[in-house]
Amino acid sequence: MSQNEEEGDPCCAHDTIPATSETNTEPLIVEQELGDGTKKVRIAVVGCSHGEMEAIYETMALIEQEKNYKFDLLICCGDYQAVRNYGDLLQMSVPPCYRSLQTFYKYYSGEKSAPVLTVFIGGNHEASGYLCELPNGGWVAPNIYFMGHASCIKFAGLRIAGLSGIYGFGDFQYSHYERPPFSERDVKTAYHVRNVDMFRLRQLKAANEDKVSNPIDIMISHDWPGGIAEFGNKQWLFRKKDRFEADHESGKLGNPSGMNDAPLELSYDPHWLAILKSTDLLTTADKEQIILPDMAGNRPCVYERKDFRPTESELKQIEELGDLRIKTDTFRQTAPPLKEVTAESKKVPASAYYRNPQSAEFCQWLGIRDLNQLLVEKSSEYVGTPYYMMPSDDTASSSANQNQEEFGDDDFIIDRGGNAENVEDEGPEAKKCRTGEEEE
């Protein structure tokens, strides 16, 4: 990722894709039997989506018609731009001339339905306020799943890991502290990869450095791994993107840190859940540097453990959670949906920050800190009442995407069970371990 791209230049150019007269909205889930009895899964992959989901789905339909098969999954590699309304456009780190509504809002509002299961990671041109509601991932619209800051999920027996954002040296050591209202700087740092994301992903490595067992089948990132230009036609690349050459020569291009009969549905990866649970102390909404357990050195830390690859007992705890399938009925509209593009609909302030029930349910179920809740509790400023909680005859009052009513604990009832003491009463030792600083 070049420095120029971070500053707001569009990361890729794309031609207008011809639209079909009718979009097929039936679920595109087809299992094809192969000669050996296994089933073939067809996965489509796109780079930067830039909110043009209508055109992407129409193009997929044309391919399906031409090739006479159906896609089972669509993977989008960042710059997805899940823009719900015009208020979300004000929370995208792009020059005003690139703030375009596009068509995702139609799938959020229910005007259209995603015809194929879609998963995506974040890039550096996103509706950051919305994605901050789902740090561990969740449905941004029916049949469209965001993978969070970092995660690993399963589909049709494939392990799919993802890392959102791009590398920013000055923010890499910090926590994910950003939420609306964004400062001019925070709207950029919100999409920067953090060391805690990389640390957790590293724990997916198999024990004893075994590179065969328990592999990651698909790894998704928006940022290129550092040095990847050496493995392709870099002369062609630098002709197409001339500003990339200087970044490559200076070492700034990319991120330097880093099927069979299974059902065609998303599920949580048990190893990833175990990693989230065992590294829960690293989750904080405060703006502070995160000292990782394997990087603590001589700095005092309550963590004696350095390697968080899941143990058998930790995986057993995850097994006891029961069904790991990702439920498809948990999506709720938090910001007011845009149902008609009018002059009035464009005259709105930036979207508020909302408590997302998907984050609440997931964290309660797993017994971990809820970053969405922690960010809400930092300040009542700019926290809105979710749209789905509004009485049907009162939704018009939320058209400005903000609500000054206090967002109290009664809006969500969360039983953290045995984890409550750790979440609410974090002692100075735990904080010292996480931040490498003494409690003041």
Assigned domain for 245 exists = no
Residue 38's pLDDT is what? 61
Kind plus residue range of the DSSP H or E element containing 73: strand 73-76
Residue 400 burial (C-beta neighbours within 10 Å; 0-12, 13-18, 19+): middle
Determine the pLDDT at residue 29.
39
Measuring CA to CA, how many Å separate 128 from each of 18, 48, 133, 322, 372?
29, 16, 9, 32, 13
Residue 275 lies in a domain: yes
- The pLDDT score that the predictor gives to residue 301 is 54
Domain of residue 380: give its range. Answer: 3-223+261-435
Cis peptide, bond prior to residue 181, ω within 30 of zero: yes
Q: What is the pTM of this model?
A: 0.77
Q: Sign of the C-alpha dihedral, residues 93, 97, 98, 102?
A: positive
179-184 contacts, C-beta under 8 A, 24 or more apart? 179/129, 179/132, 179/285, 179/353, 179/375, 179/376, 179/378, 180/91, 180/129, 180/132, 180/350, 180/351, 180/352, 180/353, 180/382, 181/350, 181/353, 181/381, 181/382, 182/91, 182/128, 182/129, 182/350
Residues in CB range of 251: below 8 A, 6 or more apart: 226
What total number of domains does the chain contain? 1
DSSP letter for 59, please. H
Q: Helices 357-366 and 270-278 meet at what angle, rounded to 10? A: 80
In a domain, 251, yes or no: no
**H-type helices in 140-194, by residue range?**
186-189
236 domain residue, yes or no = no
Report the DSSP pairing between strands 158-163 and 218-221: parallel
- Residue 100 has a pLDDT of 92
Rounded CA-CA distance 132/149 in Å is 9
pLDDT (tens, 9 = 90+) of the chain, 440 residues, equals 444 444 444 454 333 333 333 333 333 334 444 445 566 899 999 999 999 999 999 999 999 999 999 999 999 999 999 999 999 999 999 998 889 999 999 999 999 999 999 999 999 999 999 999 999 999 999 999 999 999 999 999 899 999 999 999 899 999 999 999 999 999 999 999 999 999 999 999 876 666 666 679 999 999 888 777 777 788 888 888 887 788 777 777 777 665 445 678 999 999 999 999 999 989 999 998 888 887 756 665 546 788 899 999 999 999 999 999 999 999 999 999 999 999 999 999 999 999 999 999 999 999 999 999 999 999 989 999 999 999 875 444 444 343 333 334 444 333 323 333 333 334 444 444 444 444 33
The answer as to whether 323 is a domain residue is: yes
In a domain, 38, yes or no: yes
Is 111 a domain residue?
Answer: yes
Is 255 part of a structural domain of the chain? no
For residue 257, the SS3 value is coil
Give CA–CA dist 106/404, Å, rounded. 27
